[in-house]
């Protein structure tokens, strides 16, 4: 069934499809349509979930943790400041290995106040132990959400599905709505393996020694490494049922491309068109879309970029003092590849500025003109 939906509403319907049992949320633009739609769905009875209308994002995540500890499937959504406020709890949720799924709507983070698409909010949380999956469009937002529960509940790590302010959250697109029974088949109920249990009383989260702490970090890192395989499997099985799949990274026209654009989220959609356009003009251009950011699929990216002679990474974010974050990660992934192609870092779309096809073409032209980037990062508009 096809529906015309905003990205936020697509997410809300995804929450309904996966039969979330407890939702805790706090309003923030541009997440509010998710919160409101879920309120409608729960009050109407379409979704049999409990909605906790908490007084802060910190409490939203805390309440999700509590409900998850009871063995319930939980959901929350936030953006920007809200995500920043959750920061401490993100560490807790991951450290306690709670399979919470959250949608973060990328929004520029204050100060000054701003409301538009910028990934710095979610990327700032990259070290908290959360799996991060970036969505290109409304359909992928919905599909990523469903897949996220499969991943979270298998590896017992929380998953953040990232969509973008307004470009996805408030933009209406046709969305193929998966069949609920097929979703049930794809996603069995959560078993709640490590829940609190009065018949098996245990204390969770006690104080640890340095050695013990290191062991738990080791286990998290080890399990994070397995996430790549789990995401791929979840995506593959999703595709078998629903005929859509995305991979950890998407390679588009890369096999013979000399210049490869690397990006994520909505920019990837624009870039795909630009690649087609430039290929028509005879330029050897390809695209790598990074979907899974944490854990970072370094091996897949090295493979995708192995034939490129020039690489451009387009970041809708900025790590102040070190440029685009995707760019840093790509560079790090290539660091031990002897004689790898030069990597051009472009800060494009920071603060939600429009990344137009023309801008992307300028980026390609810049690469054509330069054998090496003059700067570590280049602001473009």
Partner 1 sequence: MVISNFWSVDDSPSAITFATTLRFKTGRWRQLRPVYLPKAAPCREACPAGVDMALALEHASQGRFAEAAQIIRDENPLAGVCGRVCPHPCEEACNRKEFDAPLAIKEMERFLADQGWESAPPVSSAARKESRVAVVGSGPAGLSCAYFLSRLGYRVTLYEATRQLGGVLRTGIPQYRLPKEALDREIRGILNTGVQIKLRKRLGAELRWEELHGYAAVFLAPGFAESRRLNLANEDAAGVISGIDFLRQVNERRFRPLGKAALVIGGGDVAVDAGRCALRQGYLQVTIVSLETREEMPAVAEAVAEAEQEGLKLVCGAAPVKITTRSGATRAVEFVEGQLTGFGPDGQPRLEKRPGSGFSIPADLLITAVGQRPELGILPEEVKTGPRGILVDEWGQTSLAGVYAGGDVTEAKGTVVAAIASGKKAALAIDRNLAGKGAEEISQIGVGRKGSMSFALYINGEEPSDLSKVVTFADINLDYFENQDRLDPKKAGSKKRLASFAEVNLGFGAEDALKEGARCFNCGHCTKCDNCLIFCPDMAITRDGSVLGYQINYDYCKGCALCAQECPRRVVTTIEEQP
Partner 2 sequence: MKFQLPETDLIYSGHPACPGCGAALALRFALKALGTKVMLVMPACCAVVITGPYPTTCMKVPVFHTAFATAAAVASGLKHGLEAKGDYETTVVGWAGDGGTYDIGFQALSGAVDRNEDFIYVCYDNEGYMNTGIQKSSATPWKAWTGTTPYGKDMPKKDMMEILAAHRIPYAANASVGFPDDLIRKIKKAMSIRGSKFIHILAPCPPGWKSSDHLTVKLARLAVDTKIFPLYEVEAGWNYTINRVPKGLPVEEYLKLQGRYSHLSEQEMRDIQQQVDWEWELLLKKAGMNSG
- List of residues contacting partner 1 (CB under 8 A): 95-97, 156, 194, 202-206, 208, 212, 215-216, 218-220, 223
- 202 or 369, CB closer to partner 1? 202
Our finding on whether 210 is near partner 2 (CB under 8 A) is no
**194 belongs to the binding site for partner 2 (CB under 8 A):** no
DSSP annotation string for 215-260: HHHHHHHHHHHHHHHHHHHHHHHHHHHHS----SEEEES-TT-SEE
The piece of 152-160, 164-172, 199-207, 220-228 that touches partner 2 (CB under 8 A) is 199-207
The interface partner of residue 89, options being partner 2, partner 1, none and the CB cut-off 5 to 8 Å by kind, is: partner 2
Segment (H or E) for 283: none
> Does residue 63 touch partner 2 according to CB under 8 A?
yes
CA–CA gap between residue 50 and residue 21 (Å, rounded): 6
Q: Is 192 in the site for partner 2 (CB under 8 A)?
A: yes
Q: Which does 234 bind (CB under 5 to 8 A by kind): partner 1, partner 2, none?
A: none
Nearer to partner 2 among residue 212 and residue 226 (C-beta): 212
Do you find a cis peptide bond into 30, omega within 30 degrees of 0? yes
Cβ atoms 74, 100 nearer than 8 A? yes
**Binding characters for partner 2, 340-359, by CB under 8 A (x = yes):** --------------------
The kind and range of the H/E element at 263 are: strand 259-263
Q: Which does 218 bind (CB under 5 to 8 A by kind): partner 2, partner 1, none?
A: partner 1
Can you read off the two tokens belonging to residue 252?
A: 């588009």
How far apart CA 327 and CA 312 sit, in angstroms, is 8
What's the CA dihedral at 146, 330, 286, 235 to 10 degrees?
Answer: -20
Binding mask 75-104 for partner 2 (x = CB under 8 A): -------------xx--x---x--------
- In this chain, which of 40, 184, 197, 225 binds partner 2, going by CB under 8 A? 197
Q: E strands, 73-169, where?
A: 74-78, 101-106, 131-134, 159-164
- Cα separation, 305 vs 342, whole angstroms: 11
Q: Which does 194 bind (CB under 5 to 8 A by kind): partner 2, partner 1, none?
A: partner 1
The tokens of 61 are what? 């995540």
Number of residues near partner 2 (by CB under 8 A): 43
CA distances (Å), 93 to each of 3, 7, 168, 190, 233, in order?
34, 25, 26, 16, 24
At closest approach, how far in Å is the CB of 121 from partner 2?
20
Binding residues among 287-316 for partner 2 as defined by CB under 8 A: none
Nearer to partner 2, 55 or 256 (CB): 55
Minimum CB distance to partner 2, residue 221 (Å): 19
Q: Peptide bond before 357: cis, by omega within 30 degrees of 0?
A: no
Cβ 104 vs Cβ 122: under 8 Å: yes
- Residue (77 or 227) nearer to partner 2, CB: 77
Q: Which of 4, 40, 43, 56 binds partner 2 (CB under 8 A)?
A: 56
Cα separations (Å) of 91 from 51, 182, 310? Answer: 23, 33, 37
Choosing from 11, 24, 268, 287, the residue that interacts with partner 2 (CB under 8 A) is 24
Q: Which of 193, 207, 24 is nearest to 98 (CA)?
A: 193
How far is Cα 87 from Cα 16, in angstroms, rounded to an integer? Answer: 26
Q: Across-strand partners of 34?
A: none
Q: Which is nearer to partner 2, 52 or 364 (CB)?
A: 52
22 binds partner 2 (CB under 8 A): yes
Q: Which does 223 bind (CB under 5 to 8 A by kind): partner 2, partner 1, none?
A: partner 1
User: What gap in Å lies between CA 312 and CA 258, rounded to an integer?
Assistant: 11
Shortest reach from residue 1's CB to partner 1, in Å: 38
Residues near partner 2 (CB under 8 A) are: 21-22, 24, 49-50, 52-56, 58-60, 62-72, 74, 88-89, 92, 96, 192, 196-198, 201-209, 212
């Amino acid at each position: 069934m096809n529906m015309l939906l905003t990205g936020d509403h697509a997410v809300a319907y995804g929450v309904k499809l996966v039969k979330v049992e407890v939702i805790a949320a706090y309003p923030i633009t541009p997440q509010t349509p998710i919160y409101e739609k879920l309120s409608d769905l729960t009050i109407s009875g379409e979704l049999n979930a409990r909605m906790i209308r908490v007084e802060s994002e910190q409490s939203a995540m805390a309440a999700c943790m509590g409900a998850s500890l009871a063995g319930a499937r939980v959901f929350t959504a936030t953006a920007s400041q809200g995500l920043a406020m959750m920061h401490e709890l993100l560490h807790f949720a991951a450290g306690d290995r709670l399979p919470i799924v959250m949608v973060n709507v990328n929004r520029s983070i204050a100060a000054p106040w701003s409301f538009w698409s910028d990934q710095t909010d979610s990327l700032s949380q990259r070290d908290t132990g959360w799996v991060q999956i970036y969505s290109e469009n409304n359909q992928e937002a919905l599909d990523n959400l469903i897949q996220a529960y499969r991943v979270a509940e298998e590896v017992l790590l929380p998953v953040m599905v990232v969509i973008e302010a307004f470009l996805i959250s408030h933009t209406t697109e046709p969305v193929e709505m998966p069949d609920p029974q097929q979703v049930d088949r794809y996603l069995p109920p959560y078993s709640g393996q490590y829940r609190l249990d009065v018949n098996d009383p245990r204390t969770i989260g006690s104080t640890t020694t340095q050695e013990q702490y290191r062991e738990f970090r080791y286990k998290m890192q080890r399990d994070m490494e397995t996430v790549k395989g789990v995401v791929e499997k979840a995506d593959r099985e999703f595709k078998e049922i629903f005929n859509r799949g995305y991979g950890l990274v998407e390679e588009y026209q890369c096999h013979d491309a000399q210049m490869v654009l690397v990006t994520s989220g909505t920019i990837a959609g624009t870039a795909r068109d630009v690649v087609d356009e430039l290929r028509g003009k005879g330029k050897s251009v390809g695209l790598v879309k990074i979907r899974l950011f944490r854990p970072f699929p370094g091996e897949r990216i090295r493979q995708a970029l192995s034939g490129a002679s020039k690489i451009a990474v387009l970041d809708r974010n900025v790590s102040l003092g070190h440029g685009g974050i995707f760019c840093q990660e790509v560079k790090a992934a290539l660091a031990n590849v002897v004689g790898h192609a030069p990597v051009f870092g472009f800060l494009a779309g920071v603060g939600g500025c429009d990344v137009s096809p023309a801008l992307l073409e300028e980026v390609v032209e810049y690469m054509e003109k330069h054998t090496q980037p003059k700067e570590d990062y280049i602001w473009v508009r």
